[in-house]
Amino acid sequence: MIPIKNVMLIDDNKLDLFVNQRILKTYHNNIRVIHYQNPLLALKYLQISLLKNNLNHFTRPNVLFLDINMPQCTGFEFLEKLIKQNQLEIQNLKIYILSSSTSPKDINKAKLNPICSGYINKPLTIEKLHEILNINKLNLNKRIVLKRLSI
């Protein structure tokens, strides 16, 4: 299982933020949850915490759940802004769209985004967290096996 230490939630809905925080704390009590209703403020936080020379890994989220439909900027606009921040270390950040949208257009757009790790329909549940972590564990194990084969 990949360790989730710091999780960032970005959603303009206060109730969704509250519920998702409770789900994450139920999943594992030691998870540190950072939440933002405004994606532009979340981006500012990431611009500091993900800087390549920032050695304070305690502030650095390793999983991010991002809503799509927000008034300040959409989740997809947020991803584009994050991609343009090439001085940030985002390779270890798993980003999941967490949305109530069931639009195939949104789902495909998320799948095609190079920094998006997946698409999750709301609500977030313990079962969905397990599924995400098991997929990441399988991918990690596959990379380890492939690396061993190339030696």
Has residue 148 got a pLDDT over 80?
no
Instruction: Tell me the whole-structure pTM to 2 decimals.
Output: 0.85
State the average pLDDT over residues 67-71: 96
CATH topology of domain 6-150: Rossmann fold (3.40.50)
Helix axes 75-83, 39-49, angle to 10 degrees: 30
Assigned token pair, 128: 């969905």
Has residue 75 got a pLDDT over 90?
yes
Has residue 145 got a pLDDT over 50?
no
Q: Which of 2-11, 13-22, 54-63, 104-113 has the lowest mean pLDDT?
A: 54-63
Has residue 28 got a pLDDT over 90?
no
C-alpha closest to that of 11 among 95, 60, 69:
69
Spell out the domain ranges in the chain. Answer: 6-150
Residue at token pair 């789900």: 23
Q: Give me the pLDDT at residue 98, please.
A: 97
Q: For the chain, where are the alpha helices, taking DSSP H only? A: 14-27, 39-49, 75-83, 104-112, 126-150
Q: Give me the pLDDT at residue 33, please.
A: 95
* Mean pLDDT over each residue of the chain, to the nearest integer: 86
Alpha carbon separation from 138 to 51, 52, 103, 134, 135 (Å, rounded):
28, 27, 28, 6, 5
